[in-house]
């Protein structure tokens, strides 16, 4: 089983942000690979201000916080209050003072307007029940020219749910990259790139004009 297949197998448990379930963490190798992809796709550097939506246990938050350094900041967002405590503990353990933990909302980032140079999420978008509202909030949270990166996976062939609330259901789990691109464009984003990573896994990058 490839890393991507393993990720898809555990994804129903990974996103505790919306379901309050026990989290199965990504492997260190998967986290390192995704962090590298995000740093490159978003052009992150020392001093960047970044947001993560649905941060889970905060592995990517910590990795990105080390890159942006003391002059940068990472807003780490999650709906699950226990996860927020886990993220805060991970930041403290890593000796990072540049992470701000933010309680998420189902249809809004809960981040300040125009706060971020970049925002990212992993295996989260297909859980949005109101993507139009969330995408509008994502756009508002970015600075002009700011980038959004979405790592997610396709549903089984031909099984994409027509309704957003069905995208996390058994047999339909996932969302097509073309659907994300269409919904982001409707919110005012410009699509920068859309790349396959491994089998059904992909990365969509968009920009606020």
pLDDT, residue 135, reads 98
Per-residue pLDDT tens digits for 110-162? 999 999 999 999 999 999 999 999 999 999 999 999 999 999 999 999 999 99
Q: Output DSSP code: residue 81.
A: H
Cβ pair 109, 141 in contact under 8 A: yes
Per-residue pLDDT tens digits for 158-189? 999 999 999 999 999 999 999 999 999 999 99
Checking if the pLDDT of 60 tops 90, the result is yes
pLDDT, residue 85, reads 98
Per-residue pLDDT tens digits for 67-115? 999 999 999 999 999 999 999 999 999 999 999 999 999 999 999 999 9
At CA 149, angle to CA 99 and CA 96, rounded to 5?
15
What average pLDDT is seen over the chain? 90
pLDDT, residue 126, reads 97
- Band (9; pLDDT cuts 50, 70, 90): very low
> Which CATH code, of 1.20.1560.10, 3.40.630.30, 3.40.640.10, 3.40.50.150, is assigned to 3-207?
3.40.50.150
pTM above 0.75, yes or no: yes
Contacts of residue 155, defined as CB under 8 A and 6 or more positions apart, other chains included, come to: 126, 161, 167, 172, 173, 174, 175, 176
CA neighbor of 139 nearest in space, from 100, 184, 177: 184
CA distances from 132 to 84, 99, 128, 184 (A): 25, 27, 9, 8
């Amino acid at each position: 089983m490839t890393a991507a297949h393993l990720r898809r197998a555990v994804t129903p448990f990974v996103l505790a942000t919306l379901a309050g379930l026990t989290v199965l963490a990504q492997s260190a190798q998967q986290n390192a690979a995704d962090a590298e992809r995000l740093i490159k796709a978003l052009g992150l550097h020392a001093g960047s201000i970044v947001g993560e939506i649905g941060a889970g246990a905060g592995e990517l938050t910590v990795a990105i916080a080390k890159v942006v350094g003391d002059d940068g900041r990472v807003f780490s967002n999650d709906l699950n209050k226990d996860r927020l405590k886990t993220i805060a503990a991970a930041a403290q353990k890593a000796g990072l003072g540049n992470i701000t933990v933010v309680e998420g909302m189902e249809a809004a980032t809960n981040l300040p307007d125009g706060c971020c140079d970049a925002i990212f999420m992993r295996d989260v978008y297909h859980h949005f029940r109101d993507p139009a509202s969330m995408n509008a909030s994502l756009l508002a949270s970015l600075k002009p020219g700011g980038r959004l990166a979405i790592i997610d996976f396709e549903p089984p062939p031909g099984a994409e749910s027509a309704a957003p609330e069905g995208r996390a259901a058994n047999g339909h789990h996932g969302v097509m990259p073309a659907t994300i691109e269409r919904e982001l464009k409707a919110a005012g984003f410009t699509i920068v790139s859309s790349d396959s990573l491994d089998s059904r896994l992909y990365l969509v990058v968009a920009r606020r004009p």
